[in-house]
Structure 1
Amino acid sequence: MRRRQLLAALAVGATLPLAGCSDPRGSVRLLDVSDDATLAARWSVPTADLPESYRSLVVGAIDGDPDRATVTDTSAPFDPDAPIEHESGYYAVDHEAIDERTQTRYSVEATFDPDTVPERTVAYADLPAVDRTNLDGLLNPETRRDSGMALGVSVHYTDAEAAESVVVPTPEYDGVTRGDETFGIAVVDAREVTVYDYRYRAEPLAADAAGLAALARERFRFAFENLPADQRAILDEAKDGGVHSEDPPSEAFSALVERFRARDDTAVEVTDYDGQWLLAYDGTDWWADVRYPEGMRDEPRNA
């Protein structure tokens, strides 16, 4: 998962890929990262900003605890390609699949309707631990829902866990009471899926921000040669909060974007819509955030 996608996912509480921007204009923004701490913070993601499930995996990997660093899922839930900062150190985190097997994945649905009380109910606290773990977010009174609204979650159970459950494969109760609310509960689908045990690993990259900044400059920093005056003017304007292209973009703006796109080999992050580079310009290191104009999106990029 790319750094920008990860941060966007954290902001909305879900791990979703970014969609293309609807604004047809391109833009260039330059952030002064000549300070080591600023550059390190711009490139990395702190464990404190990660959801608890991701943070537990990463810290388990850093601490060398294989139990905490292992998760079972149909695909790797977390795939960072930016350094992870933890307790002032920086790490490259990756994973490997160490086992695979078949499990049953159930789609469980909860409905809230204050006018209809299910006949057979059970208190949330009395559910088996496996059901509380899998359904905690679904059966949450703090989740906003209207009367009659149904919310669902897809969860997998091992055969042993299903034997302990009172929800799957067939609910033994019609509803679950938690706090002052009662939720109707139902299993709406079940299917076999292949799951993997993913073990996360952490490799130290730098002991401090200065070390990570030095690594970033070694890997990514570059400078343009013989930059025309009209393209320099765009970069100069981009220092003050960023600059947007016209629609359609000027020849100078398009040419500058092509210069960045021709440096995919040194990009920190690049997609068909935008990219980020570490640019040495006028004696300063800049984090360049470049969004392509609409007509340049999805075009083949120069190697």
Structure 2
Amino acid sequence: MRRRQFLAGGTTLLATAVAGCGHPSVVLDMDEATAADIANQVSISPEPGSAEYTVVSAAIENASSTRRGRSELFDRTDTVRIGDSFYEVSETPLESSEVTVYEVRLDFDPADSTAEIGEIAYEELPAADRQRLDPIISDDNPPSGDGYDVGIGYGTTQEVGDGSVFVPEQQYDIIVHNGDRYRVGVSTRTTTETEYRYEATAVTSGVDSFADRVRDQYLFTLTGLSEAEREVVEEAIDGGYFQDDEAFRSVTNRIREHEGLDVTDSYGTWLLEYEQVEYLTYVEW
């Protein structure tokens, strides 16, 4: 698998992609970077209607916005693109409280398909249930085994609303779909929900202008390489370098001396220039 195709999507995706291909012990991968690539690497562009888009748009319009949720929205980056404008978004936790979270479980091959509470045809389910169950029910080869085969997170009663026949009160325990009978169970757990406040500060408008700001902070030039180091870099550009040898360590140590776009204890992404070409460079060590 060519890992470089994932580079613009962020280092987390990169690490996952590599893991699925038989993870090498080390990686140096260099992908030529346009202004759009740089912008995509250090910002997110939420889809209209998403929670991220909603809270940022409201914060831009009203100076701040709030939401309640069980996790942060902006854990990878706090730079958000709305249209052609870029914003730094702050996410501040306020009050927290305990909430009940519901999960609906399906058994596709129950040993006993007799309804104890009641049965319902799948097409008669409310939209709130069908939109959650459709991806599972529509699978031509659903999972099967002993007991419940799959669990679908419904969230809190506030998230579900009053349209479900399973949450918060279970009204049926058998679904009939195309002649098959599926058993339904509902489980709950208690977790913490937090109210977050969001504020958005305008950074700049336009991809080129934003990319220039990133370059000003992060871009450095990789020069003065030995012949062995140059071979490592050329192979990294061509498709990736995966040998833990002296030349690899020398090159990556040079890279790691500079501030990276996104760096952890074992991998990171940098923006560098090599022979007058800019590269988004991913390193695992």
Range class of TM-score, shorter chain? 0.7 to 0.9
SS at structure 2 position matched to 1:64: helix
Contact 1:162–1:169 at 8 Å: present in 2 too? no
Cα distance in 2 for partners of 1:82, 1:7 equals 19
Decide which of 4, 12, 19 is 1:5's aligned counterpart: 12
Equivalent residues of 1:138, 1:152 under 8 A apart: no
Q: In the aligned structure 1, how far is the partner of 2:19 from the partner of 2:242? A: 19
Secondary structure, counterpart of 2:166 in structure 1: coil
Q: Deviations over 1:98-121 (max 9, x none)?
A: 432222223431122399644311
Residue in 2 aligned with 1:101? 97
Q: Give the equivalent residue in structure 1 for 2:251.
A: 256
Offset of residue 72 of structure 1: 3.4
2:142 alignment partner in structure 1 = 145
1:202–1:110 distance in 2 versus 1, CA, 3 Å: farther
2:194 aligned residue:
196
| Structure 1, gaps ≥5 residues long | 12-17, 293-303
1:220 is aligned to: 218
8 Å Cα contact 1:110/1:138 also seen in 2 = no
1:72-87 matches, within 5 Å, as 72-81=68-77, 83-87=79-83
1:174 and 2:168 equivalent? no
Distance in 2 separating the partners of 1:258 and 1:289 = 13
Give 1:57's aligned residue: 51
SS at match of 1:136: helix
- Distance in 1 separating the partners of 2:21 and 2:12: 13
TM-score by length of 2: 0.73
Partner of 2:32: 32
Which residue does the alignment assign to 2:209? 211
- Over the residues paired in the alignment, what is the CA RMSD in angstroms? 4.0
- Aligned match for 2:264, one of 262, 271, 294: 271
Separation in 1, partners of 2:218, 2:212: 10
Q: What's the CA shift string for 1:214-264, capped at 9, x where partnerless?
A: 01101211234644443233223333233332xxx322221222222233x
Residue deviations 1:1-53, cap 9 Å, x none? x93326888x9xxxxxx9698544423222222x42343344444335xxx8x
One-letter amino acid of the structure 2 residue matched with residue 282 of structure 1 = E
Counterpart amino acid of residue 176 in structure 1 = I
Mapped to 1, the partners of 2:45 and 2:179 lie a distance apart of 37
Cα deviation, residue 213, structure 1: 0.9
**What are the superposed Cα offsets for residues 142-187 of structure 1, whole Å, 9 maximum, x if unpaired?**
2441455621134443499799864346623212346776532112
Q: 1:167 to 1:237 in 2, by over 3 A?
A: closer
TM-score (norm 1): 0.69
Contact 1:58–1:93 under 8 Å retained in 2? no
- The CA distance in 1 between the partners of 2:159 and 2:27, in whole Å, is 54
Inter-CA distance 179–209: structure 2 relative to 1 (3 Å threshold)? farther
8 Å contact from structure 1 (residues 72, 198) kept in 2: yes
Identity %: 26
Question: Which residue type is aligned with residue 190 of structure 1?
Answer: T
Contact 1:72–1:195 under 8 Å retained in 2? yes
| Separation (CA, whole Å) in 1 of partners of 2:239 and 2:87 | 31
Name the structure 2 match of 1:132. 129
Q: Secondary structure at the match of 2:95?
A: strand
In 1, Cα distance between equivalents of 2:172 and 2:252: 60
Match of 1:288 among 257, 281, 284: 281
Secondary structure of the residue that 2:238 maps to in structure 1? coil
Distance (Å, rounded) in 2 between the aligned partners of 1:139 and 1:121: 21
Match of 1:297 in 2: none
Provide the C-alpha distance between the structure 2 equivalents of 1:289 and 1:185, rounded to a whole number of angstroms: 45
Residues 97/21 of structure 1: CA separation in 2 closer, same or farther (3 Å cut): farther
User: Hey, what does 1:300 align to over in structure 2?
Assistant: none
